[in-house]
Amino acid sequence: MTEPVGRQPGAGPAAGSERAAGAARPAPAEVLAAYAPAAGLPARVVPFGRARDARELRDLLARNPFLMAPMAGVSDSAYRLMARCGGAALAYTEMVSVAGIHYGGDKTWELAWPHDPEPDIAVQLFGSKPDQFREAAAGMRERLGNRLALIDINMACPVPKVTRKGEGSALMDDPALSARIVRACLDEAGVVVTVKIRRGRVDGVELAPEFARAMEDAGACAVAVHGRYASQYYRGQADWGVVSRVVDAVDVPVIASGDILTPQAAARVLSETGATAAMVARGSYGNPWIFSDARCMLAGEEPPVRDWAQRVAAFACHARLLAATGAHMARARSLATWYLRGMPEASHWRGRAMRCDTLEEFLALADELQAAMAGAGACAGVRVGTGERSDA
């Protein structure tokens, strides 16, 4: 299968060979090799490995229990690469529609395609028809080969346009159908199959422990549990107690999800719930280091302090990866709001970012920001995700 390529650059500043008009974009691996170190990130992604059953999956997660969650509109290849370089054991695709695969949508397949530096990925599928899940699992196995680490089935999404079709968290209302979906994926995937669920569908009616047992009986090798009811969407606070109750209910690994916004929370959720792993979503916004920092916290060590120069370098590296993987550069506007959060005059710089359209414009903004920080002597570091400052 042909690897997607980045778009050709338009006219822009000539600072840096990748910005020269008419020059081909570097490959993602070249971007990481050249620019990840300045952001305090390694340029090489450590493979997750392949498990044949729940026991082997638990062993893999024991080596590094921190995972990058599937996030709609966020978890593209560039984002996954930044998270993996930041220490995530594995990164998930955003939700991939089995119906979209069935009807031959190239755009759907693009969501699940790993670019060259990604040694392996987890693909999350959603839908409601077992036959379409079976077809999608077979297609993933054929197209991704050894780069497919696992298939996850979304039984957690609370969005009405998904649930009204009987998909996402609506599957928790029908354990028998959900079990058939798990078995359909297992028939064809050639890798372990996991599920992601919510505490329940409706506030006050907890389904997760019993539902998790049914999915384990169907063959699921792990269960990720988000500690909110579907009716809560993302409001209120996630209840980690339900994660503990699912841990008690099943023998397969349990992955905690919900309100894991800091390295401290990522380490704490494991100790408080007994979960095997933790899935980080919004906590990774502008903070690819959260995964390695969480491992430091878990080991009783203080994570490194990042200065503003590293924050800006990470933003520029991420923007370059967007271009190198052929993603739409408008995504860099959201990245800017995340990476620049808490920075001196952040609102000014975010406003500037909202007016950028091309890679060249985003890189010019990053250069200007670096110069402004240096000129102002802004050398204080920040423990990203905590707001805690350090005079590094």
| Packing angle, helices 263-273 and 241-249, rounded to 10 | 40
Q: Are 287 and 261 in contact (CB under 8 A)?
A: no
Phi, psi dihedral angles at 150 (to 5 degrees): -165, 165
Predicted TM-score (pTM) of this structure: 0.90
d(CA 26, CA 234): 38
d(CA 205, CA 185): 28
Instruction: Given the residues 85, 157, 221, 317, select the one marked as catalytic.
Output: 157
d(CA 16, CA 212): 52
Q: Are 325 and 352 in contact (CB under 8 A)?
A: no
d(CA 141, CA 149): 10
Q: Which residues contact 254 (CB under 8 A, 6 or more apart)?
A: 212, 222, 223, 224, 225, 243, 246, 247, 273, 274, 275, 276
- In the 8-state DSSP scheme, what is residue 228? E
Both structure tokens of 62? 């024991």
Q: Which residues contact 4 (CB under 8 A, 6 or more apart)?
A: 110, 113, 115, 325, 326
Owner of token pair 């359209």: 357
d(CA 51, CA 60): 8
d(CA 239, CA 226): 8
| Structural domains of the chain ordered from first start | 17-35+305-390 (no CATH), 54-298 (3.20.20.70)
317 catalytic, yes or no?
Answer: no
Side-chain-side CA neighbours of residue 40 (13 Å): 19
* Digitized pLDDT (tens) for each residue of the chain, 392 residues in all: 333 323 322 222 233 334 433 457 899 999 999 999 999 999 999 999 999 999 999 999 999 999 999 999 999 999 999 999 999 999 999 999 999 999 987 889 999 999 989 999 999 999 999 999 999 999 999 999 999 999 999 999 999 999 999 999 999 999 999 999 999 999 999 999 999 999 999 999 999 999 999 999 999 999 999 999 999 999 999 999 999 999 999 999 999 999 999 999 999 999 999 999 999 999 999 999 999 999 999 999 999 999 999 999 999 999 999 999 999 999 999 999 999 998 889 999 999 999 999 999 999 999 999 999 887 765 555 555 544 433 22
CA torsion, points 152, 274, 157, 260, in degrees to nearest 10?
-110
